[in-house]
Structure 1
Amino acid sequence: MRFIKFFFIVLGFSFLQSCSNPSLYQSKHYVFGTIVDISIYGEDEKKAEKVTKAVLEEFTRLHNSLHAWEKSDLTDLNESISKNKPYKNASSELIEIIKNARELERASNHLFNPAIGELINYWGFHQNEFNSMHPNQLKIKNLVARGPSLDQLHISGSTIKSTNPHVKIDLGGYAKGYALDQASKIIHEHHIKNALINIGGNIMAIGQHGNKPWRVGIQDPRGAQAIAKVDLLDGWAIGTSGDYQRYFINDGKRYCHLIHPFTGYPVQGVYSATVLIEPSQNAGTLSDVLSKPLFISKKEDRKDIAKKLRIYHYLIIEDKHISMTKAMADKIQFLNPNTQKNNQIEITL
């Protein structure tokens, strides 16, 4: 049985009641296999529509370029790699994305690994509809032993080659964040001062909502409501990796789309990992990528991973246990007082 959930809720009565607020333009669409919500505050409707159209055209372009299993530049690259052939005439954008993703893979001790598309495909997550399956231990062991990594790519000019034909690039943990950064550029180019972009839960704030910051809620991974709220300031981005977004149940066990590249199995025991990223040129990308190594890493390694990746604000939810940095604790507010009563709260420096 297929499950997909979208995991951020925008809070604030005036925002939720946007239809009664003439200063707020809000538009919902479906791109990247997820819900995209663009909110623009304080602009006339025609200008807001024009900017939204430009952003959506960019999202569609990226979708068509970076899709992991539907025909795209990325699938063409993967096909060339699988045939031990060089991929020629790669766009400068694709090359820069791969180089940046490779740097992030190295920095994360390879816990973020966009080269494990074969594993992701084996688990059935390279399709829009996925069903429960019985994992084959030997098959998974063999897939892991192939050791795909972006380090095995060699780039010369516009040509990309791989020393490992089993590298299959999947940018599902990168592309939405990259799209946020591109959307932010477009919005600023059109001199829009206040907007909120939400791509399936990866969110970036520009300016604010009236005289208040944009406010978003962090989803309770085992409930239908938000577990906490946070004010998202100008230029900040937030992203979550969770076991409740794309998963299936087999013999009562949950298998999510977040796969450990060293074991080959979906991560168990962690419900969600949320990161809050300070303003930068690639804040959106980092909000998408950096939650993955925190979600995947062993509990005892999280502090070191966070320090290495310069993640200062994170929140990790497990069964009856919530851990977060002090910086994150200062930013969020739990919505239900029972949350702190029913969970062990661990705050780290």
Structure 2
Amino acid sequence: MRADWQRLKARGNLALRRLQPRATILLITLLLTGCNSSEVPVYTTQFPAFGTAVDLSIVGIQRERAAAAAADIERDLLFFDQALYADNAGRMLRMNERLASGEPFAVPPSLLPLLTQSQALFRLSDGLFNPALGRFTRLWGLDRSNPQSNPPPSQAAIDALLAVQPSMDDLDLKDIELKSGNPAVQLDFDPVSTAYAMDLAIQALRAQSVRSALINIGGNVRAIGSRSGRAWRLPVPRASGTGVIGIVDVSGDVSLFTASSQDRNFVYQGELYHSVIDPRTGRPAEAAASATVLFEGDALTAAAAANALMIAGSEDWPGIAGRMGIRYALLIDRLGRVQMTPAMAGLIELLDTKAEQIIRVPEEDEPRSTP
């Protein structure tokens, strides 16, 4: 186990050196702007996982304890990188093979919470967040970290999968035993793998009496507490994936996640195809360019909601946001307009003041405290 981790770390360090340094420096600068760490100890580190740089800040404990906790977090994130995110992730391959057989099998304990919460989020999102669509991502060639620029699948192939409607409701989970009556079900947790790993990392830090910490993976953030008594400053990315459209200042228990057409994609004959698949059409979502969710709680809910809102698009996202309990949301539609909930509009510091802004109220919106 130790040798496997060392190999993963060495491989990741090479990947980290290949990252674009300017984007990383910009992100760290934004996070640290206006903060004075002289009064309360702040331990910061960076390491590679999930195909990008992970930035970790631990506040308020001695450096030796923080360094030991950070090493544990790095090891755990690399484990989930290989289990859920990496191309041909072993655990997911074995689970999908067993699901296709229709026979029950024992689920690894580390993945049980992911399954149960994903089923609940699937239902809250009216089925728009659907990790059972792995056969669609494979059909499109989007099941690998660097998709090839190949022709899109035929409509006949898409329709054949739509006819059998793989969904999270096809999973029968009893205690630790899982099976599926639909052989078309293939789990793909890529949209939420980092979120789940971050939630578990925050749980581990809390168990070590850490009250303030921040984990940033590729611009998606899980945070608790504050930075030396000041709010965390979190950048909200543009739909293009380059640059920042705004900044939110938050503290407490919060998660910020963005889904966009820049997520795992390829271009073929001038058309962009990305991995946020609309389960109603079997095609990459076309109704919005990106969706960002700030959630007062776990990252898994934030990531699932961001994907669901992007799929729902400019007309229907307020209804899905309301059903999923999301008050802070920002969607960039295909016309470049910035659509926001009233709560997000009151929180965000928009840097692009020329963009047209539309305020949309989530259905069944209930008052909650601002983070």
Q: TM-score, normalised by structure 2?
A: 0.83
Other-structure match for 2:236: 218
Sort the Cα spacing of 1:85 and 1:18 in 2 relative to 1 into closer, same or farther, 3 A. Answer: farther
Q: Tell whether 2:360 aligns with 1:348.
A: yes
Other-structure match for 1:51: 69
Deviations 1:181-228 (A, max 9, x none): 111111112222322111222212222122321101111223632110
Native 8 Å contact 1:11 1:216 kept in 2:
no
Q: Tell whether 2:133 aligns with 1:116.
A: yes
Q: For the residues of structure 1 that align with 2:39 and 2:262, how far apart are their CA atoms?
A: 33
Q: For the residues of structure 2 that align with 1:197 and 1:53, how far apart are their CA atoms?
A: 13
> How does 1:93-242 map onto structure 2 within 5 Å?
93-135=110-152, 136-222=154-240, 224-242=242-260
Native 8 Å contact 1:215 1:231 kept in 2:
yes
Aligned amino acid, residue 78 of structure 1: N
Identify which range, 19-28 or 226-235, moves more after superposition.
19-28
Other-structure match for 1:305: 320
Aligned amino acid, residue 308 of structure 1: R
Deviations 1:93-140 (A, max 9, x none): 433321221111111111000000010111112113212221222111
Task: State the identity %.
Answer: 29
Native 8 Å contact 2:288 2:314 kept in 1:
no
Q: For the residues of structure 1 that align with 2:72 and 2:34, how far apart are their CA atoms?
A: 24
Aligned amino acid, residue 318 of structure 2: K
Native 8 Å contact 2:238 2:244 kept in 1:
yes
Which runs of no fewer than 5 residues in structure 1 stay unpaired?
none
Q: For the residues of structure 2 that align with 1:101 and 1:223, how far apart are their CA atoms?
A: 26
Aligned amino acid, residue 344 of structure 1: E
Give SS of 1:297's match. helix
- Once the two structures are TM-superposed, the CA of residue 13 in structure 1 deviates from its matched residue by 7.8
Give SS of 2:344's match. helix
Query: Which of residues 322, 335, 341 in structure 1 aligns to 2:338?
Result: 322
Sort the Cα spacing of 1:182 and 1:30 in 2 relative to 1 into closer, same or farther, 3 A. Answer: same
Q: For the residues of structure 2 that align with 1:68 and 1:118, how far apart are their CA atoms?
A: 17
Deviations 1:285-318 (A, max 9, x none): 1111110110001432222111111111100012
Give SS of 1:62's match. helix
Aligned amino acid, residue 76 of structure 2: E
- Once the two structures are TM-superposed, the CA of residue 90 in structure 1 deviates from its matched residue by 1.8
Q: For the residues of structure 1 that align with 2:34 and 2:84, how far apart are their CA atoms?
A: 32
Q: For the residues of structure 1 that align with 2:259 and 2:193, how far apart are their CA atoms?
A: 14
- Once the two structures are TM-superposed, the CA of residue 22 in structure 1 deviates from its matched residue by 9.9
- Once the two structures are TM-superposed, the CA of residue 147 in structure 1 deviates from its matched residue by 0.8
Give SS of 2:278's match. coil
Sort the Cα spacing of 1:77 and 1:203 in 2 relative to 1 into closer, same or farther, 3 A. Answer: same
Deviations 1:272-291 (A, max 9, x none): 10001113xxx221111110
Give SS of 1:248's match. strand
Q: For the residues of structure 2 that align with 1:68 and 1:30, how far apart are their CA atoms?
A: 13
Other-structure match for 2:283: 265
- Once the two structures are TM-superposed, the CA of residue 74 in structure 1 deviates from its matched residue by 2.4
- Once the two structures are TM-superposed, the CA of residue 40 in structure 1 deviates from its matched residue by 2.0
Identify which range, 132-141 or 9-18, moves more after superposition.
9-18
Aligned amino acid, residue 188 of structure 1: R
How many pairs does the alignment contain? 338
Give SS of 1:299's match. helix
Deviations 1:144-198 (A, max 9, x none): 2221012112223432111111100011122221212111111112222322111
Which runs of no fewer than 5 residues in structure 2 stay unpaired?
1-18, 362-371
Q: TM-score, normalised by structure 1?
A: 0.88
Q: For the residues of structure 1 that align with 2:113 and 2:40, how far apart are their CA atoms?
A: 40
Native 8 Å contact 2:122 2:129 kept in 1:
yes
- Once the two structures are TM-superposed, the CA of residue 332 in structure 1 deviates from its matched residue by 0.4
- Once the two structures are TM-superposed, the CA of residue 42 in structure 1 deviates from its matched residue by 4.1
Native 8 Å contact 1:238 1:276 kept in 2:
yes
